Amino acid sequence: MYRSKESTIDRSITPAPGTDFLQLTVDDAPAGELSAWLARRLRLAISDGRLPVGSSLPATRTLAAELRVSRGVVTEAYRRLTEDGHITGRGRAGTTVVAAPVTTPTPRPSRAPHAPGSPQATPFTREPGSDVFDAVRAAPARIDLSPGVPDLASFPRAAWLRAERSVLSSASAPELGYGDPRGAPALRLAVANWLARNRGVMVHPDQVLVVAGTAQTLGLLAQVLRQEGISEVAVEDPGSLGARQHLQHWQLRTPPVAVDSRGISVDELHACGAPAVLVTPAHQFPTGVVLDGERRRELMRWAAGGGLVIEDDYDAEHRYDRPPVAALRSLLAERVCYAGSISKLLAPALRVGWVVAPPRYHRALVEAKRFTDLGNAVLPQLALARLMESGEMERRLRHMRRRHRMRRDVMMKAIEEHLPGAAVRGAAAGLHLTITFDATFADTDLATAVLGRGVKVQPLSWHCRRPYAPGLVLGYAASAPTDIADGIATIGAALQDL
């Protein structure tokens, strides 16, 4: 349906000599033994693994044309291999490899680093390394209460497919070429409108840079800041282990600044002397504290005095029992770098986010993005733009909020029942809550014990640099209510035996 007339006209053209399939050319073939030669080459490819069991052979007509031999040559070669029992079939499924000669080298065992049973399958027993989240993900468990993901089961698959279809039917050919490293104009506009509507951030689409999630934002920003001579970004403590790992990978020091019940301590931020700070004001990770009015003003004064605020607005759209708070970016555009993504709105697997930097950093960020990947893939950007402009995202948000809120309530109730000694924090918003224990055990031991019982949770200490109460970070958004209740009960049981 997308072919032009050409494709019918040019069928007459003789194919290129030889075939890419196994790089075969008849020049290697002894005269008069074409079938035997072809059968040998195929048998070799099957035995050395280039044609694994289950792989398909080209149609005899196609292969004959590409080799410029009579079709009978290929048919005869296939017949021999069929008799040997190496290949089978005809008809619609085509010819496929069913057995390899006994000479087959046994394939190397999969080195998937986190196979169940490998040491990393109990990721809490060691200092968390850069692959610790892979390790947790790969660990076998029947219930996953890891924080950081929304209700993925309700991903709007039908709406996404509709958007993809309309994008594919309307995208121009040039749009399928190399694109704007800043992101597709349609998505930058949609993001600008979204931020104005839902986050109080007024920004021109040209100031929006589309990135592959906030993880990439941190990497790009780190490169730019280091060019500017900034080698230190203060982080919240407790604060995200993952964000800290990213900043450190990009050679930034990350001095910790305490978080209390009102948010990050701006006094301590002043004291530590760092020129920049990474904060999660709308719903602090992991404690869930909301940066209160006075602290917001203090932080803005610190920024107005020359500090750079990196605002990770990772789950601000998810609120239950508190009024909305506009993003800090809306208060001081010159000193706040805003980072958002759809990982918590739709799905992390889409790897789409956006950054709105202070104007002075914008150009350098675009350059960093260009030399990282030339810009995000285009089709998903256009599909997402449609969801954002059509109101589908707001609908999804309202839908998710009901589900998330109910799941949170189920988790709170289960904690009351099974973990009476635990203090709950940060449950008014977001996708996770944090519990702490007035005790002295190592929460990594608890996480290990809980994982041993088939439930994944994150130890709070992963996210703490300085002594803090033992605790757990519990995601409730992605699990069914029954699993949530079961999971919390499991924690209670593990706690008994600790």
Binding mask 468-497 for a second copy (x = CB under 8 A): ----------x-xx----------------
Q: Is 53 among the residues that bind a second copy (CB under 8 A)? A: no
Q: Is 176 among the residues that bind a second copy (CB under 8 A)? A: yes
Where residue 85 falls (left for φ over 0; alpha for ψ -120 to 50; beta otherwise) is left
Asked if residues 298 and 265 have their Cβ atoms less than 8 Å apart, the reply is no
Distance in Å, CB of 257 to a second copy, minimum: 23
Applying the rule CB under 8 A, the residues between 369 and 398 that interact with a second copy are 370-380, 391, 394, 397-398
User: 353 by DSSP, 3-state: which?
Assistant: strand
All residues at 6 or more sequence positions from 23 whose CB lies less than 8 Å from its CB, including other chains:
none
* Nearer Cβ to a second copy (10/438): 10
Of the residues 33, 52, 227, 442, which one makes contact with a second copy according to CB under 8 A: 52
Distance, in Å, from the CA atom of 478 to the CA atom of 131, rounded to the nearest integer, reads 22
Q: Is 334 among the residues that bind a second copy (CB under 8 A)? A: no
Is the C-alpha dihedral spanning 119, 124, 129, 130 positive or negative?
positive
* Nearer Cβ to a second copy (177/273): 177
Applying the rule CB under 8 A, the residues between 255 and 314 that interact with a second copy are none
* Nearer Cβ to a second copy (305/323): 323
Distance in Å, CB of 306 to a second copy, minimum: 26
Letter for the amino acid at 359? Answer: P
Q: Is 459 among the residues that bind a second copy (CB under 8 A)? A: no
* Nearer Cβ to a second copy (340/492): 340
Distance in Å, CB of 104 to a second copy, minimum: 12
At residue 242's C-alpha, the angle toward residues 238 and 246, to 5°, is 120
All residues at 6 or more sequence positions from 188 whose CB lies less than 8 Å from its CB, including other chains:
182, 205, 206, 208, 210, 354
The window from 167-175, 266-274, 296-304, 432-440 that contacts a second copy (CB under 8 A) reads 167-175
Q: Is 161 among the residues that bind a second copy (CB under 8 A)? A: yes
- Helices assigned H by DSSP within 419-480: 443-452
Cα 400 to chain centroid distance, Å, stands at 19
Neighbours of 89 (CB within 10 A): 15
Of the residues 317, 392, 443, 483, which one makes contact with a second copy according to CB under 8 A: 317
Q: Is 73 among the residues that bind a second copy (CB under 8 A)? A: no
Binding mask 12-51 for a second copy (x = CB under 8 A): -x-xxxxxxxxxxx-x--------------------xxxx
Element (H, E) at 236: strand 233-237
Neighbours of 268 (CB within 10 A): 16
* Nearer Cβ to a second copy (439/480): 480
Distance in Å, CB of 123 to a second copy, minimum: 14
Q: What is the largest CA-CA distance in the chain?
A: 90
Of the residues 140, 152, 228, 423, which one makes contact with a second copy according to CB under 8 A: 152
Reference 342, options 205, 198, 486, 144; nearest CA is 198
Of the residues 193, 230, 232, 413, which one makes contact with a second copy according to CB under 8 A: 193
Letter for the amino acid at 414? Answer: A
Binding mask 91-130 for a second copy (x = CB under 8 A): ---x------------xx-xxx-----------------x
Distance in Å, CB of 215 to a second copy, minimum: 5
Distance in Å, CB of 98 to a second copy, minimum: 16
* HSE-CB for 395 with a 13 A CA cutoff: 10
Asked if residues 472 and 491 have their Cβ atoms less than 8 Å apart, the reply is yes
CA dihedral 485, 430, 393, 193 (to 10 degrees): 180
